[in-house]
Chains A and B, each alone.
Chain A
């Protein structure tokens, strides 16, 4: 599966990133200022895979993190993973192109992993239907419960009355019956004992009849009554468990608060052992609650069957079957776990974590002793070399040495392909390893094999640790990447924080080359401040990370994808501005200005100076492309950002081709289109041709040498530092060293012509 998007909630400075896509070509670049939260994004993704967090990643409101990832399905349909699922679910799974996995942390900092997205929605709908059913059953149960309670109360009353009447009846049969009768009820004279007795008898009969009726009713609903009693018992247990959970959660929250606010101080009140018990209790209660809630639901179903008229045992069997079927359905978390087996491994590259050791015992590699220094790098090294222990069992040391030498050559060649930076004047870096054995003065290790690593250049043989930080970083990076790329069992999402900060610009570009090379097998997500690590032709790879309030480092982190970059702050976009060759910075990506794309940075300088010299005051400003062929790309970006813009094109052949491309993008002369094409009249092949030869010589080139070609041709033919010359010219204009009065009539006329064209926009 391939990661397509992610969402991080409640993680460090992140409140909610909302869903953010990763680049479909497997290289995603996070740009942004320091403290913007770029690293948190990488960590959040890494923790999605490991699930392991500590309190220090929690936000101050102690809300618990949720990281969701969306993956594109490749190969087997998820429907095949769950053949016993409900038909509707199977159909749904079969139709999915992507699956979503959600990892949600709990108060004990353990996490639940479950299927999200459409699968979760399906389950939510199912749960809603079931809840509706449950509520309906509960409504009916409430009526029955009232009848039962009333009947029980009435039966109780009747039994009491009947007992009293019986006592009275017995009293009438005693000797002092009349007197007692008078005293008892105060009836008047003339009333006979016989009448009283009859009356009591009649009452008794009535009460007995009613009691019999009630008992008969209660007998009839005894199943429901039992069911209700059991349901109420479960409810009481749930309430009790919830009380317990609240108490434990309060303890956990207190701990999180302490750990978060006091930077890792532990709570004095609870020893480590007691704390373990709290966590255990928490998990037990959660488990109990889950089980009780399921029992409660099942009991509601039992009661439902009872209200439908089934006998208790039949109702139990019916509910058992129903819930047995439901239990056989894959649960969200089960599905999550299954899907998780298929998702790529998220791997956070640790700077220098994969540094080759000077020496490592073969035994440590064979036994997987990852505590020894450099184990990971040595392991990576052997993976890249395609070696296992058997290789070193070669009986002939001569053949073994020859094989090692060949391998060294191959590895060095591959490494050099990736890192083209010359470290010395002539030689490139070579990586070597050797197999040797400890001498007799190494005690227990005597005679045991070890591997020794070297990094050489210009004949100088140095241990890896003796090399520069840049070399070490790149080597470490190279080993980890190539080893990961060589692992075929699981795809990988490689998370790299600030790759190559120690590297020269050229070597940083090589890092990009490595990313390009491995992106077939590995998705790379990296953070950077460096313009050398952003490919100008692939700006769709960029996600901008910044704070909601850019002046407040405590505000929440926001992520902006390519189409919403217009809302990013200038500081966030500074690497982009750099690669676009934009020198001005803060004012360039503006929606409220008239943006005019020009072919390159040199023209940007010249035209900016020209407009200032012409005294043209407007909200117009130029946006430089890297070169003419990048103009359509720049237009695409601005279209994506929803910015109004125009493109200024000169007569040069290459710009005619650009115009063709732009017209295919529906750009034209009309205001109605997405962008406007402005053609500078013929004869001007580039910005410098707007200046007369004389002004060009006097104010820009500062030469008296004759020029008989167009200025642009002269600059090109003489390979002049165009950007430097023109930026200096702009600086001279800005400093008032060059004024419009110094320009000749030819330049002035050309600039007036330019302004008259631009004024229309």
Chain B
């Protein structure tokens, strides 16, 4: 009888899990649908790649691409947590971005983040009081001004890496998330970069850098990550993706993936 009960329990558990998984897969489809399809990205960015590896079925990382008039807006976000909680936040983030770029004004990368933070604080009911949830999104956002040959960047805890003429430059982000800040909310800084031909830019979450692996089972780390990107510069973007992918799996080995992973690279 006990065995029967166990079998019954297991069957029930398996059914539940199946339902759960199918729900998650459906959620994954929705999340994927919210992120720009490959064709859209291709129409906006001449050469690019997206290395997007959720740890679970749904992801706390997300990427975003849209246009506002003559401006192209590209972002890569990393929500606190991963899996379902992260995915929910990412959906909020995407929908906020969609709302913000509707504003009829010249888009400014930092103002987009400022507004996004306001929306996030309202959505999460964050008012700066003690013991409230600190959920947030880290994000790097770029506004490309093709007509002016300018790229704007603003970062909430996420940097931007630019490689120009074989040299790497990292634009530091503001140490604030999209969400309530530890002490006070300040305006994000808007960086304006004059574009040069063959400049490459990389937006990324911290999943790759924090991935444990290698011979000593350590984190990949940002220095190595920068070296990796720099080493790819002679390669086209599709090749870069393949090498990054291989590098990742080689590094991870049999270790579990610790976090969602997102790298968005594009070349001007």
Binding site for B on A (CB under 8 A): 682-683, 692-695, 697-698, 703-708, 744-746
A704 contacts which of B114, B123, B127 (Cβ < 8 Å)?
B127
Could you say which residues of chain A place their CB within 8 Å of the CB of B197?
Answer: none
| Residue in B closest to A744 when the chains form the complex, CB atoms | B187
Whether the Cβ atoms of A706 and B119 lie closer than 8 Å is yes
Whether the Cβ atoms of A745 and B110 lie closer than 8 Å is yes
| Residue in A closest to B126 when the chains form the complex, CB atoms | A706
Could you say which residues of chain B place their CB within 8 Å of the CB of A698?
Answer: 184-185
Whether the Cβ atoms of B187 and A746 lie closer than 8 Å is yes
Given contacts A705-B121, A706-B122, 11 further A-B contacts (CB under 8 A): A692-B111, A692-B187, A704-B126, A704-B128, A704-B184, A706-B120, A706-B121, A706-B127, A744-B186, A744-B187, A746-B114
Question: Given A682-B104, A683-B105, A746-B187, do A694 and B119 touch, yes or no (CB 8 Å)?
Answer: no
Could you say which residues of chain B place their CB within 8 Å of the CB of A705?
Answer: 121-122, 127-128
A697 to B122, CA, bound (A): 14
Whether the Cβ atoms of B187 and A694 lie closer than 8 Å is yes
Report the minimum CB–CB distance from B113 to chain A (whole Å): 11
- Total chain B interface residues with beta-carbon distance under 8 A: 24
Whether the Cβ atoms of A693 and B115 lie closer than 8 Å is yes
Whether the Cβ atoms of A707 and B118 lie closer than 8 Å is yes
Could you say which residues of chain A place their CB within 8 Å of the CB of B200?
Answer: none
1/0 per position for B227-264, CB-CB distance to A under 8 A?
Answer: 00000000000000000000000000000000000000
Tell me, yes or no, whether B190 is within 8 Å of chain A by CB: yes
Binding site for A on B (CB under 8 A): 103-105, 108, 110-111, 114-115, 117-123, 126-128, 180, 184-187, 190
Whether the Cβ atoms of B117 and A706 lie closer than 8 Å is yes
Question: Given A682-B104, A683-B105, do A694 and B186 touch, yes or no (CB 8 Å)?
Answer: yes
Could you say which residues of chain A place their CB within 8 Å of the CB of B121?
Answer: 704-706
Report the minimum CB–CB distance from B133 to chain A (whole Å): 14
Whether the Cβ atoms of B127 and A745 lie closer than 8 Å is no
A13 to B118, CA, bound (A): 64
Whether the Cβ atoms of A708 and B119 lie closer than 8 Å is yes
Report the minimum CB–CB distance from B258 to chain A (whole Å): 31
| Residue in B closest to A697 when the chains form the complex, CB atoms | B185
A732 to B66, CA, bound (A): 41
Report the minimum CB–CB distance from A753 to chain B (whole Å): 12
Interface of A is mostly: loop
| Residue in A closest to B111 when the chains form the complex, CB atoms | A746
Report the minimum CB–CB distance from A657 to chain B (whole Å): 22
Whether the Cβ atoms of B114 and A692 lie closer than 8 Å is yes
A698 to B120, CA, bound (A): 17
| Residue in B closest to A693 when the chains form the complex, CB atoms | B118
Could you say which residues of chain A place their CB within 8 Å of the CB of B127?
Answer: 703-706
Report the minimum CB–CB distance from B186 to chain A (whole Å): 7
Whether the Cβ atoms of A704 and B185 lie closer than 8 Å is yes
Question: Given A704-B128, A705-B127, do A694 and B185 touch, yes or no (CB 8 Å)?
Answer: yes
Q: Which of A682, A694, A698 has the most CB of B within 10 A?
A: A694
9 A-B pairs with the lowest CB-CB distances in the bound complex, closest first? A706-B121, A704-B128, A744-B187, A706-B122, A706-B118, A705-B127, A708-B119, A708-B122, A694-B187
Can you list 21 residue pairs at the A/B interface with Cβ under 8 Å? Answer: A683-B105, A692-B111, A694-B185, A694-B186, A694-B187, A697-B185, A698-B184, A703-B127, A704-B127, A705-B121, A705-B122, A706-B117, A706-B118, A706-B119, A706-B122, A707-B118, A708-B122, A745-B110, A746-B111, A746-B114, A746-B187
Could you say which residues of chain A place their CB within 8 Å of the CB of B180?
Answer: 704
A657 to B92, CA, bound (A): 38
Report the minimum CB–CB distance from B135 to chain A (whole Å): 13
Could you say which residues of chain A place their CB within 8 Å of the CB of B126?
Answer: 704, 706
| Residue in A closest to B190 when the chains form the complex, CB atoms | A745
Whether the Cβ atoms of B128 and A746 lie closer than 8 Å is no
| Residue in B closest to A705 when the chains form the complex, CB atoms | B127
Could you say which residues of chain B place their CB within 8 Å of the CB of A697?
Answer: 185
A708 to B128, CA, bound (A): 16
| Residue in A closest to B118 when the chains form the complex, CB atoms | A706
Question: Given A693-B114, A706-B117, A706-B121, do A746 and B184 touch, yes or no (CB 8 Å)?
Answer: no
A258 to B110, CA, bound (A): 84
A693 to B114, CA, bound (A): 8
| Residue in A closest to B100 when the chains form the complex, CB atoms | A708
Report the minimum CB–CB distance from B260 to chain A (whole Å): 26
Could you say which residues of chain A place their CB within 8 Å of the CB of B184?
Answer: 698, 704
Could you say which residues of chain B place their CB within 8 Å of the CB of A692?
Answer: 111, 114, 187
Could you say which residues of chain B place their CB within 8 Å of the CB of A683?
Answer: 103-105
Could you say which residues of chain B place their CB within 8 Å of the CB of A695?
Answer: 187
Could you say which residues of chain A place their CB within 8 Å of the CB of B118?
Answer: 693, 706-708
Q: Which of B115, B119, B120, B126 has the most CB of A within 10 A?
A: B115
A746 contacts which of B104, B108, B119, B122 (Cβ < 8 Å)?
B108
Could you say which residues of chain A place their CB within 8 Å of the CB of B122?
Answer: 705-708
A744 to B120, CA, bound (A): 20
Could you say which residues of chain A place their CB within 8 Å of the CB of B120?
Answer: 706
Report the minimum CB–CB distance from A606 to chain B (whole Å): 19
Report the minimum CB–CB distance from A708 to chain B (whole Å): 5
Report the minimum CB–CB distance from A743 to chain B (whole Å): 9
Whether the Cβ atoms of A694 and B104 lie closer than 8 Å is no
| Residue in A closest to B106 when the chains form the complex, CB atoms | A749
Report the minimum CB–CB distance from A198 to chain B (whole Å): 138
Could you say which residues of chain A place their CB within 8 Å of the CB of B128?
Answer: 704-705
Could you say which residues of chain A place their CB within 8 Å of the CB of B105?
Answer: 683
Could you say which residues of chain A place their CB within 8 Å of the CB of B186?
Answer: 694, 744
A745 to B184, CA, bound (A): 17
| Residue in A closest to B103 when the chains form the complex, CB atoms | A683
| Residue in A closest to B108 when the chains form the complex, CB atoms | A746
A745 to B189, CA, bound (A): 9
Could you say which residues of chain A place their CB within 8 Å of the CB of B190?
Answer: 745
Whether the Cβ atoms of B110 and A694 lie closer than 8 Å is no
Report the minimum CB–CB distance from B40 to chain A (whole Å): 27
A692 to B185, CA, bound (A): 13
Q: Which of A683, A692, A704 has the most CB of B within 10 A?
A: A704
Q: Which of B105, B111, B184 has the most CB of A within 10 A?
A: B111
Q: Which of A697, A707, A708, A746 has the most CB of B within 10 A?
A: A708
